[in-house]
A and B are shown apart, each in its own frame.
Chain A
């Protein structure tokens, strides 16, 4: 079975669903999305963790004159994310299907398109293809916010599109430049596949420019502070199922881009900018934490907590240690699950507070909804990365990785861990405990909420007992991905890799090697 099927199915199935009578579109889309989920799980089962390279490769020369390949593959880096994407989309569709949606046919079509784009971005093994999918992701979300959003959605879309577009141009330019420069410097045919580019090292200066362009696109998409200006409005306006997948997987595409593209293709630049990236990540953690415990909006608490979590993931990636990067990959999976569950719970809580997501309107909901309170509590503990949750193992490994490269950054970053306890618990308490809020009508969790929350909760619990599950598949791939960057690009451990500027490159003169 080819990966193209997995790639195209979501959008095709969404088209099939739109042919159903309007009342059944949602349920049809949700049920049909089980097919790509099944296929993704099948790939997971057949995945061979002992192989650090690409598996299930589909490779066709697409535009031969430009050397662009249509190349998809699964590796230890993206397998968990592909499965996560399938899971979160199925759950979001299930949540939507239980609700009245305006113009359902278009809505579900956009969801299908979004899922295909995200899967494509994760599986693409060609730079141009990746950029294409990366940009394609924006289109369905643009419509989802613009047409089905709430509040000041015009402002939100404008901001989101402009921010991401600026990043995307830079990345597109850099992607093309990388292919052209690499083939030029090594006098080979034009190529954009990751594997080929890994073997065609760029000169130091070129790497630096390319690195910065890619980093700009990814930092905006994740987002990390101070590139997060679009986040609050966009997250606030998006419909809940859209924000769950956006925060759950779309933001992970950017983090995945760093680990799968930037580190292997621009290893020396990654090494060179390591400290800068760590500092941005650290700044993001502290900033977002401070924001999360000040904001009065329940949804924004989760939104900022994801900025902080993306900061941790970034720390892990740029620790350039296998411990840290493994932790980062695990944390991407954990965070995807937990943040989606959190958004659904915020929606459930808001439904009991007269539709308001303002913390001042909430309170005492646990009183008549003990089951919902227990769900919320478990998600809260996972969100603050309490030991015993898989999130803790992710953070533990990330911090350990950073600790062994830049001890002080790890120590300062733990402030984010303490801060997370404050804002996560504050959110739980103000919503569920204390006196019953003025507009609160508390009632027990309902089927339409259970359908989304319980599967995610089950995943949180299973991963809590067995976080190793999230680590097993990726060990060798992670080592291979970070090896060149970890050694500053000078260690020639890729057979066939030509290193251009290692002679001029003196580790003792870079700021990161002290």
Chain B
């Protein structure tokens, strides 16, 4: 396939993915908006007003970046894992396998589709948060970079999960038992500096801590960890996950006999 043909194929796949999640918006865009609004009301307004400041900001302001990041993570992952697994389940993946589309175009199409949903939900949650608090971006480049890399990383995670999944249960195990606990313990609702030394050290092994803090640094200008080291680590994970996913796709793991 020529570069131009690959570009057309890539755009086709991204458009297909966007059309899919916008067609079922009550399942994809509405629930995170409602969930996050409840978080803002309960944790931000009702409980947050009794907690007081955290990291020099009122509690609502402090948790908003973490909640935006949580939306991006869950939706980037969820979009790709459910879309790609459904494609396998319905055998419509054969439409792509018989075509001359190279593996990297298929992978890029799904990843960008997942990133678009993650970032769109992130934008919706950001706009909703403005009804509850004031947000100003301190470091635009870092904020955008962290969102893009995090969305890419979790979209890749969702893709790898879908490749190995054989039944619908397999696509809910990772989000339920790994992703959600790591996100809740990833410094979304608190600064890890509040933790005892041992648990702080344990928290530093959680990759989501770095993403949440890097994003919080971009928005509020404060972080519990070194932001540039965080960006470097996320980028390294993105590259490793991308190469692994591409290798799986190329050899046909889970999709070809």
Is this pair of chains taken from one and the same complex?
Answer: no
Q: A-side interface residues toward B, CB under 8 Å?
A: none
Q: B-side interface residues toward A, CB under 8 Å?
A: none
